[in-house]
Amino acid sequence: MDPIRPRQPARRRTIVPWLAALAIVLLAGAAVAIMWRPAIAPQAQALRFEPALVEKGARLAALGNCAGCHTVDPARPHAGGLAMQTPFGTVHSTNITPDGRTGIGNWSEAAFARALREGVSRDGHLLYPAFPYDHYTRLTQADVQALYAYVMTRTPLDAPARPNAMTFPFGFRPLVGFWNVLYLDRTPWRPDPARPADWNRGAYVADALAHCSACHSPRTRLGGEDRRRFLDGGEAEGWYVPALNRNAPSPLPWTQAQLAAYLRTGIAPDHAAAGGPMQGVVQGLAKADPADVEALATWIHAWLAKAPAAPKGNAARAGSLPVPGADAPAQVRAGYAVYAGACARCHEAGRASTSGGALPLQKAVALYDPDPRSLVRIVREGIHPPDGEPGRWMPGFAAILDEGQTTALAAYLRHAAGQAPWNHLEQSVKKASEP
């Protein structure tokens, strides 16, 4: 026979459901507090701003590359519509012109500031963190006011928002509230009293405006920046974004002057020419306050100075790239034939910063990246300045080289740089070749 169990006291049996109900109510209340935000009343009156404030906002917007993300058609700047691919689906940028129906023409400064600092639209819906409000939250109030003056004086354009295409369940916007709990740190930016003024200005520009670590740091599985690996390399739009800390892949040390020139022009002799997403960043920085760009270069250089100073691989060697020996892998020897036929004519012609010659490839940062994606994208897509603007140009070879030739070329260039072969090179080329 089973032993006789003592009866549970009636009081205890009664209180347990109430405690469970209270827990559910508290959790529901916490969820509402995390996910829900009220609307802010629309602003009806026309606004006027001092020209100096608008000009300041223009320079700040250039640092933040606002036009780069909010413009898909150069003839319609800031009207949004740019598709941004994320691991959670496709997000389209929105219209930030002062159009009253489809833009932000009826947003007050308070609504604008809340969007920048909290990632909340005027009507109360949460913005996806493809918009880097986790950086803009550290903007000073004076800079928020200047940015507001700038966007509210742009040409109003009618451009309805394009629908996003998010994978389940990320299309449910209130979930972003839980992301904010994990990754939105609203601590105001503070200067480091132990650092000089130009370093501190560069740190503020990098963090609050230019949001450098948004691309140059790796991401967690939930899409937040991995702050334990600050500036340790990331990705953007299918490109590998190199580390800017002690793990920087650059084969030769950078000087502050080289960094400043690269940020303004996209060209750094002995280092790189800006390609992919960095081209848009450079295009914005060219319109920013030169003193801010210099300060940004000072801050980045302080981080890069932590990397080993000795040249990597064959970066210090001058002249033509070597012909692989008979004992080299067949793929490397095939890659040299591609290089000799498609690349050597420009890349071995010699180059000055103002010449038409190309970068000596033994010095190119992309050959030393731990990931081959950027080199593959450069080979396939080339480097092109914005329409109608001068800049360094390189043709793309996607229509000329097949996947096997592209893979062989990348394998040869990596070998010529004196680096270990890339893992998963074939897969990277295949993925870059997909429509």
Dihedral (CA of 151, 152, 155, 157) sign: positive
- What pLDDT does 28 receive? 46
Query: Cβ distance 324 to 411 under 8 Å?
Result: no
Cα angle 287, 292, 294; round to 5: 100
CB of 251 within 8 A of CB of 313? yes
Would you state the pLDDT for residue 34?
Answer: 62
Burial class (CB in 10 A: 0-12, 13-18, 19+), 423: exposed
Q: In this structure, are residues 211 and 167 in contact, taking their beta carbons and an 8 Å threshold?
A: no
Ranges under pLDDT 50 in the chain: 1, 26-28, 353
Look up tokens 């140059």; give the residue: 216
Helix (H, G, I), strand (E, B) or coil at 115: helix
Is the distance from CB of 372 to CB of 365 less than 8 angstroms?
no
Contacts of residue 266, defined as CB under 8 A and 6 or more positions apart, other chains included, come to 273, 274, 278, 279, 282, 391, 392
CA dihedral 10, 15, 16, 21 (to 10 degrees): 150
Q: How far apart are CA 186 and CA 272, in angstroms?
A: 35
Rounded to a whole number of angstroms, the distance between the first and last alpha carbons of the chain is 72
Is 83 strand, coil or helix?
strand
Phi and psi at residue 272, to the nearest 5°: -170, 165
Q: Beta-carbon neighbour count of residue 426 at 10 Å?
A: 17
Q: What is the pLDDT of residue 387?
A: 65
pTM, 2 dp: 0.89
Residues 162 and 372: their CA atoms lie apart, in Å, by 33
Closest CA to 156 of 200, 96, 208: 96
The Cα 108–Cα 434 span in angstroms is 44
Give CA–CA dist 378/393, Å, rounded: 11
Given this model, what pLDDT does residue 8 score? 54
Tokens found for residue 435: 């429509």
Q: What is the CA radius of gyration of the chain?
A: 26
DSSP state of 125: P
The residue whose two tokens read 């609504």 is 111
DSSP letter at 166 equals E
Helix or strand holding residue 272 (H, E):
strand 272-273
pLDDT at 23: 53
Identity (one letter) of the amino acid at 283?
Answer: Q
Q: Which amino acid is at 146?
A: A
Question: Rounded CA gap, 228 and 171, in Å?
Answer: 28
Task: Give the pLDDT of residue 15.
Answer: 72
